[in-house]
A and B are shown apart, each in its own frame.
Chain A
Amino acid sequence: MKLGVVIFPGSNCDKDMIHVLSNVMKHEVVELWHKDHDLQNVDGIFLPGGFSFGDYLRSGAIARYSPIMKEVIAFANKGGFVFGVCNGFQILCESGLLPGALLHNTNQKFICKNIYIKSSGNNSAVNNAIDNGKALKIPIAHGEGKYYADKNVLDEMKQNNQILFHYCDENSNVTEEANPNGSLENIAGVCNKNKNVFGMMPHPERASEGILKNTDGKLIFDSIFNYLEKSIENK
């Protein structure tokens, strides 16, 4: 399988993502520069974390208009798998591929720590290998991660099972105390209506190897490759 990791000026989790996809998950990875127009026939696209264009204007607002995003949007609209982490999630929201937006954390601080998330168990491309009750320990590192969508959008997302991860405590309780950034209803990750575009603020690529003493994030990559392998078989 061939995967693409998009690199914007200011991306800084691109190498971690490439490392996990190629060395941990053992798949071919190509780097896609933000000025490229060719997606090189990849089977899935990953938008890494970082501070694209210095987070100027709004996080993701400038990257969303990088040349390659035209191709990424076309790929997504044809049903292609797109996954954004942190700044990647912000870019996908800015581009309109995902609903909602990421606001400044309620406490106005950049938060860098391990938190827990829980899968909402709807068997999507990013959570099919995860036991629903399990709290996954995954790090976050962001200043603008407070998920927000207006009530109508949120209701629609709930109806379509588009909310995939909630912040929780280590016993899987979704509580206000376990919400690190003030996200609406503890939302940590969402998908689009067609369930082929995904975004989450926590960094699974920083928690996918034994040497890091945390492999909870690998369950997300396992889910992704279960999904991609099936979708390639069905082609």
Chain B
Amino acid sequence: MKYKAEIDVMPLKALLDPQGKAVTASMHNIGYKSVQNVRIGKHITMEIEADSDAEAQNKVEEACKKILSNPVMESYEFDIEKLAF
């Protein structure tokens, strides 16, 4: 079965996100005064073959831990959906 995973990788809350900080400042400059704490991460999508929902879940979890995120500086979350044929 084929699944689609949507993964968000974000800088850890404890870390300064200089990109987000620069964008926050820029948004203030162009009038979005009420915006605060912009944080910028990555959105990753991928398709994956697995025999069950649980297997797909495990595979994506493993990939997130092993390569897609670095736990020293990032956290991740993901959703999985079964693709219809």
Show the binding face of B for A, using Cβ within 8 Å.
Answer: 11, 14-16, 18-19, 22, 67-68, 70, 72-73
From known contacts A57-B67, A61-B67, A65-B67, infer whether A100 and B72 are also in contact, taking CB-CB under 8 Å: yes
Show the binding face of A for B, using Cβ within 8 Å.
Answer: 57-58, 61-62, 65, 93-94, 100-101, 103-108, 148-150, 182
- In the bound complex, residues from chain A placing their C-beta under 8 Å from that of B19 are 104, 108
- In the bound complex, residues from chain B placing their C-beta under 8 Å from that of A105 are 18
- Give bound CA distance, A221 to B11, whole Å: 35
Are B72 and A148 in contact, with the CB atoms below 8 A?
yes
Are A104 and B72 in contact, with the CB atoms below 8 A?
no
Most buried by A among B22, B67, B68, B70: B70
Are B15 and A148 in contact, with the CB atoms below 8 A?
yes
- Least Cβ distance of A162 to chain B in Å? 15
Are A108 and B22 in contact, with the CB atoms below 8 A?
yes
Interface SS majority for chain A? loop
From known contacts A108-B22, A148-B73, infer whether A103 and B68 are also in contact, taking CB-CB under 8 Å: no
A-B contact pairs, 23 of them (CB 8 A): A57-B68, A58-B70, A61-B70, A62-B67, A65-B67, A93-B72, A94-B70, A100-B72, A101-B70, A103-B11, A103-B73, A104-B18, A104-B19, A105-B18, A106-B18, A107-B18, A108-B18, A108-B19, A108-B22, A148-B72, A148-B73, A150-B72, A182-B16
Most buried by A among B15, B19, B68: B15
> What are the nearest 10 A-B pairs in CB distance?
A101-B72, A101-B73, A108-B18, A106-B18, A104-B18, A101-B70, A103-B73, A108-B22, A58-B70, A100-B72
- In the bound complex, residues from chain B placing their C-beta under 8 Å from that of A100 are 72
